[in-house]
Amino acid sequence: MKPFQFLRISLFSAAFGLSASLALPAQAATDEQLLPIQHQWAKIQYDLPEKQRASAFATLAALIEAARDRYPEDTELLIWQGIAVSSQAGAEGGLGALKLAKKARKLFEQAIEQNPAALNGSALTSLGTLYHKVPGWPLGFGDDDKAAELFKQALEISPNGLDSNYFYGSYLLDEGDKAAARAALQKALAAPPRPQRPKADAGRRQEVEQLLEKLS
């Protein structure tokens, strides 16, 4: 069986289990219901070949959207849908990804309105990354000043976080502030581990180290 076929089966198996648990009335998804989403995102991001990621992220985004039908007010599911959509945009690249980036922006903005501190400010970090990576006017909505503002807000919520410091460090490096980038990236490496997300932690730390190598 091809890797993507196996992953697709895994995704839908996870969705079946998620749907069964979501059938119970509740106001928000539990950590146990969110973990399969987090794990699948990490598998796609760090295990799949680049050419297969866009389709896999699209499948994951659709599964999360279906889960949100059960929990329409759940901010964490909303953020994870935005992460999956923005990851799909990054995997596709080019101008064709702009529509996806705009969709992700709306999801993150909605999440910030509901609860900016959810998932340690991940919506702020992710939206800041979009503003930094997307082209500016007239092609897109990119805005580095807005990105910096969002990153700083995220760091107020998660000053020692792996993701918040990694993405801010990446932004600073792109902006040419090498000293501040190094400090943020070193702080990212010192971030406490997330025991339930070992693959995501390992992959992100490798990305941090790659940026630090550029600085050295």
Written as tens digits, the pLDDT of the chain (216 aa) is 334 333 443 444 444 344 434 343 446 788 888 999 999 999 999 999 999 999 999 999 999 999 999 999 999 999 999 999 999 999 998 877 999 999 999 999 999 999 999 999 999 999 999 999 999 998 899 999 999 999 999 999 999 999 999 999 999 999 999 999 999 999 999 999 999 999 999 999 999 999 999 998
User: How far is the C-alpha of 14 from the C-alpha of 109, rounded, in Å?
Assistant: 27
- Does 86 fall in a domain? no
Query: What is the residue-wise DSSP string for 47-106?
Result: HS-HHHHHHHHHHHHHHHHHHHHH-TT-HHHHHHHHHHHHHHHHHH-SGGGHHHHHHHHH
Q: Are 136 and 178 in contact (CB under 8 A)?
A: no
- Does 163 fall in a domain? yes
Mapped onto helix, strand or coil, the DSSP state of residue 194 is coil
Other CB atoms within a 10 A radius of the CB of residue 38 amount to 19
- Does 195 fall in a domain? yes
- Does 144 fall in a domain? no
- Does 171 fall in a domain? yes
Tokens 């599964």 locate to 63
Q: Are 7 and 56 in contact (CB under 8 A)?
A: yes
Tokens 């295990």 locate to 47
- The amino acid at residue 99 is K
User: How far is the C-alpha of 165 from the C-alpha of 154, rounded, in Å?
Assistant: 9
- Number of domains present in the structure of the chain: 1
Q: Which pLDDT does position 180 carry in this prediction? A: 98
By CB atoms closer than 10 A (0-12, 13-18, 19+), residue 49 is: exposed
Sign of CA dihedral 114, 117, 119, 124: positive
> What domain range is 187 assigned to?
159-215
43-89 tens-digit pLDDT: 999 999 999 999 999 999 999 999 999 999 999 999 999 999 999 99
- Does 166 fall in a domain? yes
- Does 69 fall in a domain? no
